[in-house]
Structure 1
Amino acid sequence: MISRRQFALSLSAFALSPLSAHVHAAVRKTPTPLLPPLPPLAREEAVTDSLWGKSIVDPYRWMEQKPDTAEFTNYLKAQGAFARQVLDKLPGRRAIEASLQRFSAATTTLAIRQVTSTQLIFARRSPDQQVLKIYATPHAGGAERLLIDPEVGNKGGPGGKGGQPRRVTEVLMSPDNKHLAYAIDKGGDEMHELHVLTLDSGKDVLITRLNGMPASWLPDSSGLFYARLRDGAVKGKVDFSFDTATWLHKMDKDPAQDTLAFRWSDGPAMGQTEREMPVVHVNTASDWALGAIYSNGEWPAYGMVARLNDLLAGKPGWAEVFRKDDIATHALTVGDDVYVLAKGKSERGEVFKVSLREADKGKRVVVVQQGDYVIDSLSLAKDGLYIHELRGQVGALRRYSFATGKVEDVKLPLTGAVWNIQCHPAIEGAWFGMDDLTWSARTLQTGPSLVAKDTGLTPKAAFDTSSFLTTRQDIKARDGTAVPVEILHKNNTKLNGKNPLLIIAYGAYGIILDPGFQGSMLAFLDQGGVIVYAHIRGGGEKGETWHIAGQKANKSNTWRDVIDVAESMIKDGWTAQGKLAVWGTSAGGIMVGRAITERPDLFAVAIGEVGVFNTLRFELTSNGPGNDEEFGTVKKEDEFRALLEMDAYHHVQAETSYPATLLMTGANDMRVEPWQIAKMAARMQKNYNPKRPVLMRVDYDSGHFSTTKKIGIAKHLDMFSFILAHTRA
């Protein structure tokens, strides 16, 4: 799963390719020629499960077969074609597209991916480009160098014109600035090819096609640690990611001679299992290696240390540093110490230090105490640790000084989001991004003076945003809990109950739905809409307690917070009942699916993008193992009942009028497989009402995320057209 900030930088967007197919599904005809035809009717073949004394009937289980059957593939194509037929005829598309071109197409997207000893490595997509490209530029400015262009490809690399769009997902420059490791996928399938590009010669070496991700370079640049799948892993199987391991590639060797460096079963037994991902982190500031074991690709659940030389000699002698109950989110080695950001004992986060010479003694010293605000990340610089802190709904940057032990604020030129903090252990200061919901991103830098200045690396937007405003407030939920919201609107918006209003929420994994600029959202405001970001329970905005309050048996708080926010927006005059829309993505599918099945009368429109709708079956997917810690498992009675309660697919009722619903999937999605969305569409379409249609939009060039600016504009054009058509009727 993913945060909105990551979502934006990954260019998550879904588009449709022209589709035509003979469909193995019954197509119903409408008796009224003025209304669009009815969607393809999915075949029903009921499967009944008996779980903890309850019978669960599933009429569309056949869609889950792996590999995909011809019947399911044809069903997806038919759904995509039907959605395209309806969406293309929606009114107002031309005006919405013009707004999207003005605000979204004209925006430069830029994020620094790494600070090296001499240069900044950054990803940028300029207004005239379709994809993020990788560049390097000296710290002090000067001529930039294009390193990777996924559209054209590198000499000997995986690029090239034609075929599905390619996306560079990870980059890691070697300490000597001579070699760039990078991961690239196609069509958003997240089956990353890992390459090493030698910059001077242009030589590009394929390291692995087994979903390889760079972890860290050896300090002398002679080798690269990287994580990859086991040989023989089968896409679609529940054990697909089991036994993922970290390998070592030596630059003077053929990749076929790479050696296994770190497995989940190495080191002290702390509860880790084969479903977790072990990664080795080393840097030039320490002679120690950190062995971090990630649970479901999220936070490092377990941490251990060993002398790097001992690890390379095959005798690491791993010593424990932290366990799962520490809820560590970041760990950094510095000299003979490791600094860990953890939320297990302090829900808003504290930083503790462990002496690596005495790691086996378990002694910890808290160097940054828990404060009033959530600590979200750590970055390592020569002068200290740079700390991101969330203060209410805006960001702050602080520094813990190695020299003085003091924690001090960085003076920021603006109030807004702080994100993507990048440092180098041999350089003082930090580089980072700032933006807000209604002003575009800037790239800033701070040094020892702790005064941040704009680097000018990100060009200012070519349009005026002064007519757009953000109103921040708390909404009281039914149990009295204060739910923070951000309301985006034009400065002349009237509280007369006539505004189309879109609520966007997530609420899972303790991830913070952070405020950040997206030009596409201004296009919706430009058309008279209002957008509300709701920081509901299940996220991390108020710390670990806020996360747990929307987890497993508490999950109902997640969608009921959204319902309560919606009712508050009506009460305060921002909108009215027939003008409300709600949008959830990925794990946010639970939120949107249950909000509309619990209160179908409240919302006029629902947008479910790559959403988890059938939670009872999610743990059986390739991405399922590990998610039981967030949602639960059917193997435990109490967690089964919680999963059933949050399962929107099993809460769809016959003869019920649901909102006009746009469900979206990427055909190559491995995180939330398309059958999750297809089953939800099939069940909702049994009650099909052409005036409140249920559409399933399918993109064959996408997975969970997509690649191009054109695709992003197409997605938002369809979404906003759909919302406005059904809130202005």
Structure 2
Amino acid sequence: MQSKLLFPSLILIAAFVFSCNQQQGPSASDIQYPDTKKVDTVDTYFGNEVPDPYRWLEDDNAKETKAWVKKQNKVTFSYLNDIPFRDQVKGTVKNLIDYEKVSAPDKHGNYYYYYKNDGLQDQSVYYRTKDLKSDEEEVFLNPNNFSEDGTISMAGTSFSSDGSLMTYLISDGGSDWRKAITLNTETKEVVGDTLTDLKFTGISWKGTEGFYYSSYERPKEGEALTAANKNQKVYFHEMGTPQSEDRVVFGDDIQRRGISAGLTEDERFLVLSPWKGTSGNELYIKDLEDPNGDFVQFVDNFENNHSILHSDGDRLLIYTNLDAQNYRIVETTIDKPNPENWKTLVPESEHVLNSASSAGGYLFLNYLEDAKSKVKQLTLDGEHVRDVDLPAIGSAGGFGGESEDTELYYTFTSFTYPSTVFRYDIESGSSELYEQPEVAFDPEQYETKQVFYESKDGTEIPMFIVHKKGVELDGNNPALLYGYGGFNISLTPSYSTRWISWLEMGGVFAMANLRGGGEYGKSWHKAGIKMQKQNVFDDFIAAGEYLKSENYTSSDKLAIMGGSNGGLLVGATMTQRPDLAQVAIPQVGVLDMLRYHKFTIGAAWASDYGRADASEEMFEYLYGYSPYHNLEKGTGYPATLITTADHDDRVVPAHSFKFAARLQEYHSGDTPVLIRIETRAGHGAGTPTSKTIKQLTDIFSFTLYNMNEEPEI
């Protein structure tokens, strides 16, 4: 299966060269935006009246809303279809995404399982083989056969410890709701009941008798994509019985918004991690070998993050940021659950311990050093064995396995380094190439640098900048600035067709590691949440100003882009600094900060955002930056392409609908402000390749056209 990396000396795809002699195309002045009715809805917060004239767009099932969506898409696609070079952009994106992609293999029973995509398949196919060194492989599951349009995807797998049974989750149209189907791996036949209405869960097998999973009460008809999710429960599904007989393991007496459930490798301990927000969890553990045992509470608050890393007899290793902002590893036993009894095994480092795993009787600790991976191998007693020799500066992952494993497979990637799988010998520490893709892209033509710039309050913020070697810093380069800044999530270097397409078309790509993320631990995260959220926007604005001051680009050639919490980032930036960039791409964004908590899992985000109904101070802060509420009449905003999807039940499309309606009402400039609403798609996961190509084509065509740049072959 090993393949040789191909970096052709002559790129197979003709690179685009930008010029300013643009062909005739669509004009923003000719756009007739759909009429959007307004209603007299007013909410009162601590004596403050807040009009919400587009509240009716929150009802995604209403005929009026569906009609509005069709009208908006008609206007948007009429504009996009008239961009003269759109087909050329599509050809570039399609050719760059068209390469074989293979995941790292996992062994279950007598087989190794892995995903593979021939390049343009809508969904990756699940394969297996008994010998990784042979060419004999078989298709185990092909999600492309689940639906005609490729919109039903696999969303997770779990095997019994002997590999004889396997449960896979499926998502329909990108929704977070799942079905669980169990197969006999020898015959591939369905076994037992198909479970429905699962959400935010994994599958944890106990022998072959059944498995644990988490879910919410079944939503009411028509409310699955919008109704609030609360009071999740953990169930045990016994094979051979219907789902209706599944017993509640946790969640009847102690109610929590969400509960993650899992078993230790030896299946002795059932570990529960209740949560109410996106950061911080309680910790409960039950010894399943004790017939009279009950759950033991290890942590009784949501102030820190904790997870069981490894169990060895009575000994438990815990990965935690309690009393360690950059995380540490501690050890204890189930009869000494309280944190004051925990003993530090691996102390906190100056660098963030981004993740930790075990395999082959060792620990593997993945640190972030200025958002770049550094992996260390330690004994189970915490003694340093070696630093894993990584192939370059970038991001590594996948160092988990079973205690008896002698090898593991990890993945390495960077901005211009395609995701590559390596085989790692656990005892010797040697890595060898296992699977490396052939791509029509020459990384030698590009350079990546990391810079540090000052934000508004003087804080040093890191940013990666990627561009062709020898680019002239004359302020005329089209540049794309990307950010996120939230929920303790770290942005690290990785290979993506999105960024490669932009680079191949001659653009500069920049990714800023904003506060609110996890790049520098708990303090970095907390510096960008609640009453500190403005720091994130200031960091992003300063990143744009840096790119301009260093002559990478100019306001007329800068685009800002981000998704989900990053969509909030773009929305807040364009309302606070409409002059910063020429183009804004807020994707599936959180844009109404006063009502976000009323839909699906939105209430969990209060740990980062706070809630408008919590206090007058918090209301005023959220109201002060909420993108939907801070659009101003008569303002000229950047050329804006809002993107969302009709099955997004993570950040409901109502955010984007309402923002688009008010933006079209208030905008006074000569740039287009459009919304692109994908159908049969969700927040992003499981999106078919064909839809991804179309989305990227439209985004980059819109961006270049509104920078007055014309690509030429």
TM score, norm. by length of structure 1: 0.88
1:211-360 equivalent positions in 2, closer than 5 A: 211=198, 215-232=202-219, 235=223, 240-263=228-251, 265-266=253-254, 273-275=255-257, 277-285=258-266, 287-296=268-277, 298=278, 301-310=281-290, 315-325=292-302, 327-335=304-312, 336-359=314-337
1:557 correspondence with 2:535: yes
Q: Deviations over 1:126-185 (max 9, x none)?
A: 214221222234475433332221111xxxxxx2x4256111011111111111111101
**Structure 2 stretches lacking a partner, 5+ long:** 1-25
Determine the C-alpha separation between the residues in 1 that align with 2:289 and 2:665: 63
Q: Secondary structure of the residue that 2:194 maps to in structure 1?
A: strand
Determine the C-alpha separation between the residues in 2 that align with 1:460 and 1:38: 45
Determine the C-alpha separation between the residues in 2 that align with 1:639 and 1:338: 40
1:9-20 equivalent positions in 2, closer than 5 A: none
Q: Deviations over 1:253-299 (max 9, x none)?
A: 34443222222745xxxxxx432x22331133352221222335x45
Which residue does 2:14 correspond to in 1? none
Q: CA deviation at 1:637?
A: 2.1
Determine the C-alpha separation between the residues in 2 that align with 1:262 and 1:416: 40
1:105 correspondence with 2:93: no
Q: CA deviation at 1:405?
A: 3.1
Asked if 1 retains the 8 angstrom alpha-carbon contact of 2:486 and 2:516, the reply is: yes
Which residue does 2:384 correspond to in 1? 406
1:714 correspondence with 2:706: no
Asked if 1 retains the 8 angstrom alpha-carbon contact of 2:423 and 2:434, the reply is: no
Asked if 1 retains the 8 angstrom alpha-carbon contact of 2:256 and 2:276, the reply is: no
Give the counterpart of 2:32 among 17, 32, 38: 38
Q: Deviations over 1:490-541 (max 9, x none)?
A: 1131101000111000011010012100123222112221110011111111
Q: CA deviation at 1:361?
A: 8.0
1:666-681 equivalent positions in 2, closer than 5 A: 666-681=645-660
Determine the C-alpha separation between the residues in 2 that align with 1:90 and 1:331: 53
Which residue does 2:88 correspond to in 1? 95
Asked if 2 retains the 8 angstrom alpha-carbon contact of 1:582 and 1:592, the reply is: yes
Q: Secondary structure of the residue that 2:144 maps to in structure 1?
A: coil
Give the counterpart of 1:126 among 118, 124, 134: 118
Give the counterpart of 1:365 among 343, 349, 355: 343
Change (3 A) 1:317 1:546: same
Which residue does 1:566 correspond to in 2? 544
Change (3 A) 1:658 1:624: same
1:48 correspondence with 2:42: yes
Q: CA deviation at 1:110?
A: 3.7
State the AA in 1 paired with 2:214. A
Which residue does 2:187 correspond to in 1? 201
Determine the C-alpha separation between the residues in 2 that align with 1:361 and 1:554: 29
State the AA in 1 paired with 2:114. F
Give the counterpart of 1:514 among 489, 492, 510: 492
Query: Which stretch shows the higher mean deviation, 433-442 or 687-696?
Result: 687-696
Q: Report the identity percentage.
A: 23
Determine the C-alpha separation between the residues in 2 that align with 1:453 and 1:605: 43
1:62 correspondence with 2:56: yes
Q: Deviations over 1:662-690 (max 9, x none)?
A: 00110011111111001000011014568
Change (3 A) 1:306 1:499: same
Give the counterpart of 2:160 among 148, 167, 174: 174
**Structure 1 stretches lacking a partner, 5+ long:** 1-31, 153-158, 267-272
1:1-16 equivalent positions in 2, closer than 5 A: none
Which residue does 2:10 correspond to in 1? none
1:623 correspondence with 2:579: no
Q: Deviations over 1:49-74 (max 9, x none)?
A: 22123221211112123x52110111
Q: Deviations over 1:590-632 (max 9, x none)?
A: 2101111111111100001100111111011112222111101
State the AA in 2 paired with 1:274. R
Determine the C-alpha separation between the residues in 2 that align with 1:690 and 1:473: 34
Which residue does 2:4 correspond to in 1? none
Determine the C-alpha separation between the residues in 2 that align with 1:326 and 1:655: 44
